Amino acid sequence: MLKQLLGKLPRKSSKSTANRDHGGNHAANSNTSTGSRSSNGKSANSNISSVAANNSAPDVSQNLGNKIHQGVNSKLNGDLGFSQYEGLPGFKDVPSSEKQNLFIRKLNMCCVVFDFTEPMKNLKEKEIKRQTLQELVDYVTSVSGKFSETAMQEVMKMVSANLFRTFTPQPRENKVVDGVDLEEDEPSMDSAWPHLQIVYELFLRFVSSAETDAKLAKRYIDQPFILKLLDLFDSEDPREREYLKTILHRIYGKFMVHRPFIRKAINNIFYQFIFETEKYNGIAELLEILGSIINGFALPLKEEHKMFLVRAMIPLHKPRCLAMYHQPLSYCIIQFVEKDCKLADTVIRGLLKYWPITNSSKEVMFLNELEEVLEATQLPEFQRCMVPLFQQLARCLNSSHFQVAERALFLWNNDPIENLIIQNRKVILPIIFPALEKNVSNHWNQAVRSLTVNVRKIFEDLDHELFNECLLKFQEDEKKEVEIKARSEAAWKRLEEIATQKAASDAMVVAPRKALTCSASAVLLVEVTVASLRSVYEVSFLLLFPGPCLDFATSTCFNSWPCVITSSISVAALKLDLEKMMVAERALYLWNNDHIENLIRQNSKARLPVIFPALEKKGRNHWNQVVQSLTVNVRKIFADTDPDLFEECLHQFQENEAKAEEFKTKQEATWKRLEEIAATKAASSEAVLVPRAIPTSTPSS
């Protein structure tokens, strides 16, 4: 029987045959445990069962196994001499009892890593290793019976030896320009891929195999191993990143104990990429993994997952290389909104925070993502963010880049979004109407003008009265701007004339003092300054830097005028006006906080009567459009929460307004009577006495 087994061994060269014949003299008896030695000299097969007496077989290729250990040791010692690197028998040429032993020997053999930077070096040894790796893949695929702990340990050792390496940094100057990867069509390929691919395939099948016990394997697929695996995602070879994506996904699914750690580790990679380097090759692949992970989140979403959205997902819109990973990022964002519709407001405000200013291609990507988010947005969340959202969309409508303007106008072709706009047209149309009118008359692109006409017609047909109001206000504003511009040009022209007249002398150019207090120049200065700061306020610059803006308005701007404004009333009024505007808007933003809004709702019977007069006055009379719109939103919240209380407060407010108007009329009549008495007594020295019946205080409300 022994001779029959030896006869089945493959024939090799004379040197190999001599070694095999020498090794064949070592017969294994029934009490001898088959084993092998790993590269560090320790037993690597202690858990393999002994071979029965009737099925005893020789220890196949013992000398070849020793040569493998020598090759591994030579690698570890830095001496890469592969003169003794020889192949091992195939799995079909050994008994079933020896296959796991041979599996471990082949794994040890494949721990040797060859240098592929020199293509013609060690060709024979490279081919032997490639064939051996392929045999290992076939064995892992077809194995029957659980892998032993020793086999798992050897698999992880071989995988670590081949995969974990330091990448050579590639020059990245001018590689990313305006979010476009110039080398996207020619990625860098790893020269060692002929071996790496098979190692990845082996590891993938090992992790996916039903014969791999997760409880045993988690001792070797541990947190340090996962961190090293994540480091490989920075590889420039897209084939390697694709394998890593699949393997990490399988690990996440099979090893539940590692799930929080994997999410946290990916989170840390995103933080480093966003706030430090903006250079990482595997962001798209990591986001693809997260897309399927987010899809499996249980409802309601944990606070941890919401924080992940706010701190990592949304800030990923910041880097300029967004185009490289925008599609999987957008998918992840949509998954969050579909899981919890209340997150739509958070996502939209996050997009507005990172909205590009000068990068038009990136702006188009933002508009594409915004449309998908709005499709999943419910009415309450839409109403919370519609004012800043459509202020930004109005700027997009007026963009000189036709693709940006066109993409913004295409939002009206989406039925769910159009329905949201129609339901809130009284707030939205006044915001975007100036942009629509300017596009129709001034935009250079014919397609943009045509789309704008269509959108304009939608609003006109829907609410003709509101449309006419907005049109009238727009015409008035345009007229005022023309007047201010004409007065400004006239003032500068006058200054130039004065400067020309005084050019020959050294005297300072100072306008007459009489013209300073009441002339159009002083009035023009205040009006232009207020208009300028209101424009700055609309782009949120004033909110970011209120101090410098107010200082500029109240000191620098006035001091730079070629005259001295003697009265400080205009300065103080301007400063007070701007400060009140910021305070009003900031107070209204409290209703965007869910916790605060819940507290107010629970105590609405005590709170609404207090703030109702302020809401009514701001909603009707405030000069700032943003404050008016926010006030309307807050007013609607109370009206929907408790209609009876709202009607009661409205009735009380109207009564108080009527009393105040009546008191004002009486007061004006009283002062008019006093002026008449004073006029008749002007020539005499008699004191002007006020009649006793004149009221001295306002009526109580």
pLDDT for the residue 21:
37
What residue has token string 């007070």? 576
Residue 637 pLDDT greater than 80, yes or no: yes
Residue 219 pLDDT greater than 80, yes or no: yes
Residue 559 pLDDT greater than 70, yes or no: no
- 11-51 tens-digit pLDDT: 443 333 333 333 333 333 333 333 333 333 333 333 333 33
CB 168 within 8 A of CB 117: no
For residue 494, give every residue at least 6 positions away whose Cβ sits within 8 Å of its Cβ, in sequence order, or none: 521
pLDDT for the residue 599:
80
Residue 268 pLDDT greater than 90, yes or no: yes
pLDDT band at 549 (very low <50, low <70, confident <90, very high): low
Nearest residue to 101 via CA among 53, 64, 141: 64
Sign of the dihedral through C-alpha 106, 108, 109, 110: positive
- 314-349 tens-digit pLDDT: 999 999 899 999 999 999 999 999 999 999 999 999
CB 35 within 8 A of CB 101: yes
In angstroms, the CA 18 to CA 12 distance is 9
| Cα end-to-end distance, the chain, whole Å | 115
How many other β-carbons are positioned within 10 Å of the β-carbon of residue 666?
13
pLDDT band at 509 (very low <50, low <70, confident <90, very high): very low
In angstroms, the CA 41 to CA 37 distance is 6
How many other β-carbons are positioned within 10 Å of the β-carbon of residue 344?
24
In this structure, of 121-130, 516-525, 616-625, the range with the lowest mean pLDDT score is 516-525
Residue type, 672: K
- The pTM of this model reads 0.61
- 411-421 tens-digit pLDDT: 999 999 999 99
For 309, the 3-state DSSP assignment is helix
Overall average pLDDT of the 115-139 stretch: 84
The more confidently predicted of residues 140 and 122 is 140
CB 615 within 8 A of CB 631: yes
Percent of the chain with pLDDT over 90: 40
Residue 449 pLDDT greater than 90, yes or no: yes
Q: What is the secondary structure of 661-695 as a DSSP string?
A: HHHHHHHHHHHHHHHHHHHHTTTS----PPPTTS-
CB 354 within 8 A of CB 314: yes
Half-sphere exposure at residue 592, Cβ-oriented, CA atoms within 13 angstroms: 19
Maximum pairwise Cα distance, the chain: 149
The more confidently predicted of residues 175 and 24 is 175
What residue has token string 């809004």? 597
pLDDT band at 617 (very low <50, low <70, confident <90, very high): confident
The more confidently predicted of residues 689 and 429 is 429
CB 341 within 8 A of CB 377: yes
Q: Where are the domains of the chain?
A: 1-156+190-202, 593-701
DSSP 8-state assignment for residue 54? G
For 501, the 3-state DSSP assignment is helix
The token duo for 315 is 């800030």
Question: 113: exposed, middle or buried (C-beta count within 10 Å: 0-12, 13-18, 19+)?
Answer: middle
Nearest residue to 143 via CA among 96, 84, 192: 96
Residue 576 pLDDT greater than 80, yes or no: no
| Cross-strand partners of 177 | 180
pLDDT band at 594 (very low <50, low <70, confident <90, very high): confident
In angstroms, the CA 212 to CA 207 distance is 7
CB 358 within 8 A of CB 398: no
